[in-house]
Amino acid sequence: MLTLPLVLLLATATGPGAKARPAAPAPERSSAAKGAPLPREVAALVRRCVEAYGGEAAVARAATSLHEGTVTSLLHPGGPGRIGRAYSRPGRLRVEVAFGDAQGAEIRVLDGARGWRQGQEVTGPLLDSMILQAARIDLPAQLAAPGAKVTARGTLALGGKTLRVLALELAPGFVVEAAIDPDSGRILRSRGSRAGPSPVEFITTYSDFRTVDGVLVPFHEENWANGKTTGETVLSRVEFPGSFPPELFRP
């Protein structure tokens, strides 16, 4: 198992010329979705969202991203921990979390349709949660991806605003909703869910938006899992490095 301290994780980004290994195949979008044009009002809201996050070039630049910050958890009441996240399209994610009251860092790795936790391959809800987390990190690009199956799901009231909700079907049973402020184009809430015998649901609200290298980034996240609050993530640094060493997304 590859174990990288958070400080090293955040220094592993390589230049644009570095070679990256292809990801394991991610869950395929349903065949009915491929090439299907979006309804006009849905397509317009997706374009507004992409513009809000910096435009097509900025969203393309966010294909690889590195996040550093702090995280709170009800499982660790002693104070905030440190978090490092590395994301790369399509569907690669590495998350390292370290709390002062824990022995070492918790390491979660996703490479397409395969995932590992502490070096052990996982399936079921643990894998589903990582697939949904990766999609939520890259939601503007996911909504705008060619062939994406996006539908309107009405409105949602949040913080005095009426948000318009778009639902993205990642694969059969995997859905991520984006609640978008139609005035600003910003995603203020996401909801990822996986139907099945062991359904999962993850909700995140976003605030403290800042522009980094032309890309709009929410630096504050509040999180819920299956209806229960799980804590918040506060970012201190975000970078878009271009590529990562391929071994970063393996145990």
Task: State the Cα–Cα distance between residues 28 and 190, nearest whole angstrom.
Answer: 21
C-beta of residue 37 within 8 angstroms of C-beta of residue 156: no
Residue with tokens 């824990």: 102
% of the chain with per-residue pLDDT over 70 = 84
pLDDT of residue 199: 87
Query: What is the token pair recorded at 153?
Result: 């799901």
State which fold the 6-16+27-249 domain adopts: outer membrane lipoprotein receptor (LolB), chain A (2.50.20)
Q: What is the pLDDT of residues 40-96, one digit of tens each?
A: 999 999 999 999 999 999 999 999 999 999 999 887 777 899 999 999 998 999 999
pTM: 0.86
Domain boundaries, the chain: 6-16+27-249
